[in-house]
Amino acid sequence: MKLKLGVVLFMLFISLGCNSKPPLNEQEKSAIHVVKPAEFKEKSINQVIIDIRTPQEFNQGHIEGAININFFDNSFIEQIGKYDKSKPIFLYCRSGNRTSSAAAKVAKLGYGEIYDLQGGIMSWSRENLQIIK
């Protein structure tokens, strides 16, 4: 019984240690704005919009003017880092799950104004906003 408890505690310790990310500081946290589709659409006019989905997802339909940078690509940070950090950057994915992780990475790069589309392109579509195919 003690052995099983020890194994469980060891596995818990290992899994927590492997998943730990450095926390965002206050400046990085304040840079991220999770916004609803209408606000995202309004604020993103003539701004950099990044669709972080896979190329296959992007080709199924995307927001007009969006640039596809796959979150799962090994060069994601390098590609995102090419944009002007003094200007807002707009991020979205399918449902909003990937974007929260991506926004944290982008904040760590020094971007001061990051907009995360709440609910991703699925919420955009539910609001009957235009999708380019």
How many whole angstroms separate alpha carbon 40 and alpha carbon 89?
A: 11
List the catalytic residue out of 49, 63, 80, 93: 93
- DSSP H or E stretch at residue 125: helix 120-126
In what order do the strands lie in the sheet containing 48-51? 32-35, 114-117, 89-92, 48-51, 67-68
Residue 18 annotated as catalytic: no
Four-residue CA torsion sign, 43, 62, 100, 38: positive
Give the residue numbers marked as catalytic. 93
